Amino acid sequence: MKNYRTKKFLRWGILLLIVFVLIVFSRYWWKEKRWRFIVVHHTASDIGNLEYYRRIHQQERGWDDIAYHFVINNGSFQTVPGQIEESNLWKERKGGYSTSNYWINTFAIAVVIVGNLNHHPPLPQQYESLINLLAQLSQQYNIPPERIIGHREIQNTECPGKYLNMAKVRLDVKRKLNIKN
């Protein structure tokens, strides 16, 4: 009788251990391995930083955070041109609100450049930071440069502006990663 209870207890213990490992692994996978795209945006305004846009998105749109995972600053609001800020969405690995497509928001990393790139190109420091960040994310999350897209490539919008050539961005990321065409 005692031997039967021990075996039963052992079976349940092993089963619970397997379930626990699966839960932990699936959470890790969901947070770290689900990313399939990177979507690039511009703020369409020449002022702001992460906190500025977080406040706008929370107050005007009712979201719990800014729409983007990363913000590349232009020097306004006491930031350094090219400085990259990480939002809580990224720290917690949550999906964003950067497009009207739920699937893209769930599986894409959203990067925004502060500035109206319909009126002028990004600052050189911003562009360099953008390429470095995109190359790092591309390599770390196994996202090919072909899946780095501008917002306008998936939705009817001018974002990320006419002065950001996404074909050149993808080419520069490939060069940074030493990928032959």
- Domain limits, the chain: 1-33, 35-176
pLDDT at 47 over 60: yes
pLDDT at 32 over 60: yes
| β-sheet with 148-150: strand ranges across | 84-86, 70-72, 108-113, 37-42, 148-150
- CATH 3.40.80.10 fits domain 35-176: yes
User: pLDDT at position 17, please?
Assistant: 76
Share of residues in the chain with pLDDT > 70 (%): 91
181 with 142: CB under 8 angstroms? no
Residue with tokens 């502006």: 161
